[in-house]
Amino acid sequence: MTTEVRVPQLPESVADATLVTWHKNAGDTVARDENLADLETDKVVLEVPAPVAGVIKSLDRKAGVTVTSGELLAVIEEQAGAPGSAPKPAAKAEAKKPAESRKAEPMVPPPPPQAAPKKEESGGKLSPAARRLVEENKLSADQIAGSGRDGRISKSDVAHHLEAAPQPSTVTSAGRVDQRVPMSRLRARIAQRLVEAQSTAALLTTFNEVDMQALMALRTRYKEAFEKRHGVRLGFMSFFAKACIEALRRFPVVNASVEGSDIVYHEYYDIGVAVSTDRGLIVPLLRDVDRMDFASIEKAVTSFADRARKGTITIEELTGGTFSITNGGVFGSLMSTPIVNAPQSAILGMHKVQERPIVVEGQVVVRPMMYIALTYDHRIIDGREAVQFLVAVKEALEDPARLLLQV
């Protein structure tokens, strides 16, 4: 019996995906739920698990091609004895039938034993497509790690090697050296969305600064007890998220979005938290932040950072959102103008905490200060509302008790 492996249903906002790599070759044995291939969308990398255990009969799409929902990717020949296979429910019932009344079922012969690979030159381990790509780029197969059986090198292995290796250089007429590297699918999508945000919205940024002394003292006082109680470190993001919630409640237009000629006021708070990865910037969402406590926020942010590095964040976690927070301070940024994550209308930028002299009650003192920035869509948010929103965030952070009392 054969089972078809097809591209899973992609979300409505994603039209297609790129088949990045195969983890199995035709003829390989596969266990149920074992990852067969990786699909890269505009937002995340999806895994394609094997629906059944068996032997891969054919791979119907090559790595690097664009696929859509429902397209055939591979065919698996099911085997009862394959790893991960489960006994069929009807097995016991059939065992009770007389042997003579049972129809003989065709047995799927096991794959023929593979002969031990002979020592041969590296070119013998290349698939035809991989060999052509190696020759076109004048590469040495000995420098490429093969992911197939017995180290066989596939086209995707060569593609990954090209992405990781320094790209061939070209010399300009002035004698300078250029390197041309194609954008990844995610990077191209990020570029497209940023350009769209700049060209469709009237973006403006306003700034303020926060005296972090009270917040840092509170964090220092309770961080050990907090981590012991909740199993996660107490960071700044939970305080900023809660401060933004209080400010959004006071100025709901900052939590709104534009649809055509309408303003849509969202009566919920799904805050995106920008996370930087090797593949580019993604913005997973904290859903209903107003209902989350500090520990839940910190756990979610930690999970996002870990899963972003592994590429396991789901598309659902990246879809939607009413407001965003980005923290350039972790990279040392002192001040910036973040770009709104459309269709949202505003984004808060956090920055580096730096000691600076300021005047407090007529005295010059040194305090840990942070610049904060709000980029907003001036089509629906006026400067007065944007400035007052930042002041509300500032007041909540400089006096953290406000977050508990909601004043």
Residues known to be catalytic: 378, 382
Listed in sequence order, the residues at least 6 apart from 274 whose beta carbon sits closer than 8 Å to its beta carbon are 281, 282, 283, 324, 325, 326, 327, 341
Distance CA 312, CA 44 (A): 8
User: Nearest Cα to 245, choosing from 293, 203, 289, 307?
Assistant: 289
Sequential DSSP letters for 8-51 = PPPPTT---EEEEEESS-TT-EE-TT-EEEEEE-SS-EEEEE-S
Burial 376-403 (b: 16+ CB within 10 A, else e): bbeebbeeebbeebbebbbebbeebebb
Q: How far is CA 8 from the centre of its chain?
A: 18
| 172, two tokens | 């300009």
Across-strand partners of 204?
Answer: 376
Name the phi and psi angles at 238, rounded to 5.
-65, -40
Amino acid letter, residue 40: E
| 259, two tokens | 């649809």
Per DSSP, 173 falls in state T
Distance CA 12, CA 302 (A): 28
Listed in sequence order, the residues at least 6 apart from 131 whose beta carbon sits closer than 8 Å to its beta carbon are 123
Q: CA angle 226-228-231, nearest 5°?
A: 85
